Amino acid sequence: MPRVAGCDPGTSSLDVLVLDDGTAADQTRFDPDQLRADPAAAVRWLRDRGPFDLVAGPSGYGLPLVRADRCTDAQLGLMALVRPDERASATGVAGFSAVARAFRDSGLPVVFLPGVIHLPTVPAHRKLNKIDLGTPDKLCVAALAVDRVADTWTREGPVCVVELGTAFTAAVVVNERGEVVDGAGGTAGAFGWRSGGAWDGEAAYLLSPLRKTDLFEGGAAGVGDEEIRRAAYVESLVKTVAGLCGLHEPTDRFEKVILSGRLFAAEPAFVESLHLTETLAPFARSEYEVVALPLLDGAWVKEAAQGAAVIADGLAGGRFRPVVDGLRLREAAGTVLDWLTHPRAAEVRGWFG
């Protein structure tokens, strides 16, 4: 009967969910201003509700199931991915780094989770020159989806989990065995609400030197013309889901397209205007298989926090162990920088030890 917690350090908030024997027992949300003023606020909240068997901590770009007591400063750097020249000025990411460090040094049984690129189930050729195929929070949403649709998923084909965040848009493919096999996320993914999605290299060159904060700019929120904004967002999402759909057997469609994300609550009118059920129906077996991700009973925090708690429970041997075993998280390995082939990649790796 494990008691665990899961965290999601999203752009708009850090959410925490406590599960007691797989059941929601407590939950909370910390806004960015709270965490900037007090990076250890979430740690104290958890200490007051312990003890815990395991806590899935805020993991940024991800580590391969690294326990807090073994997490080095270099590994903390890999979760944030800030260049040395920006480490004193990248305010938003510096805030994440302070929170992650508080979790690392908390004495709680914290584990930092992998991203999609760390998983052995993603073929190597899909990782080349990629860092973000789906960050740990997107992997957590996929874990929640696997559990939540288990009763209606025949496992005759893959599902696609689409996450509409308040900054980034991502899509993750889970095959019929419950393994993540592909993904597109962040600045390698579709047009986002705040982020412009996949970068045109020429634009990146002309706008350089880029700052970390530039990765959170250029999205739909900054487009003044509503019709253009909507068209850009929809078409980018369709291209992403269609591209993933075309690669994965045994069918030419996903068994389900599962929709999730904070944008549904933050910008409901915009999301409603996208008509996602009809828009994404061609990539599912029918429009009835484009579905909203059901939440855990009694939980209201973000789906990624719920998924993180599901993973923590599974790693601790609880009710959700089959989900974690299917995802093969214990086989996660490497770093997010391993697959860069540019001649300067060794220099970049050197920035992180």
The domain that holds 70 is classified in CATH as 3.30.420
CA distances to 166, 186, 197, 231, 236 from 170, rounded to whole Å, are 11, 6, 9, 17, 11
pLDDT tens profile 137-153: 999 999 999 999 999 99
pLDDT tens profile 245-269: 988 765 679 999 999 999 999 999 9
145 belongs to a structural domain = no
Indicate whether 167 and 218 sit together in one domain.
yes
CA distances to 50, 150, 178, 217, 260 from 145, rounded to whole Å, are 27, 8, 10, 29, 9
Q: How many helices (H) and strands (E) does the chain have?
A: 13, 11
Indicate whether 288 and 316 sit together in one domain.
no
pLDDT recorded at residue 287: 85
**For 268-288, what is the mean pLDDT?**
95
- Percent of the chain whose pLDDT exceeds 70: 98
- The boundaries of the domain holding residue 184 are 150-292
Cα–Cα distance, 257 to 276 (Å, whole number)? 10
Cα–Cα distance, 349 to 338 (Å, whole number)? 8
213 belongs to a structural domain = yes
Q: How many CB atoms lie within 10 A of CB 257?
A: 26
171 belongs to a structural domain = yes
Beta-ladder partners of 100: none
Indicate whether 189 and 108 sit together in one domain.
no
Residue 283 clears pLDDT 60, i.e. is over it: yes
Tell me the CA end-to-end span of the chain in Å, nearest whole number.
39
Q: How many CB atoms lie within 10 A of CB 273?
A: 15
Indicate whether 280 and 171 sit together in one domain.
yes
Report residue 189 CA to chain centroid gap: 12
Indicate whether 181 and 287 sit together in one domain.
yes
Instruction: Report the relative pairing of strands 290-292 and 180-184 from DSSP bridges.
Output: unpaired
Single-letter code of the amino acid located at 208 = S
126 belongs to a structural domain = no
143 belongs to a structural domain = no
Indicate whether 110 and 37 sit together in one domain.
yes
Indicate whether 264 and 172 sit together in one domain.
yes
pLDDT recorded at residue 90: 54
Q: Supply 165's token pair.
A: 């965040």
Residue 43 clears pLDDT 70, i.e. is over it: yes
**For 35-44, what is the mean pLDDT?**
95
Indicate whether 250 and 305 sit together in one domain.
no
Q: Given the structure tokens 């959410």, which residue do they identify?
A: 15
Indicate whether 303 and 271 sit together in one domain.
no
pLDDT recorded at residue 94: 54
Indicate whether 244 and 306 sit together in one domain.
no
Cα–Cα distance, 258 to 48 (Å, whole number)? 35
Indicate whether 158 and 288 sit together in one domain.
yes
How many independent structural domains does the chain possess? 2
pLDDT-derived band at 19, boundaries 50, 70, 90: very high
Q: Supply 210's token pair.
A: 């880029």
Indicate whether 203 and 312 sit together in one domain.
no
All residues at 6 or more sequence positions from 274 whose CB lies less than 8 Å from its CB, including other chains = 230, 233, 234, 237
CATH of the domain at 236: 3.30.420.40
pTM for the predicted model, two decimal places: 0.96
132 belongs to a structural domain = no
pLDDT-derived band at 208, boundaries 50, 70, 90: very high
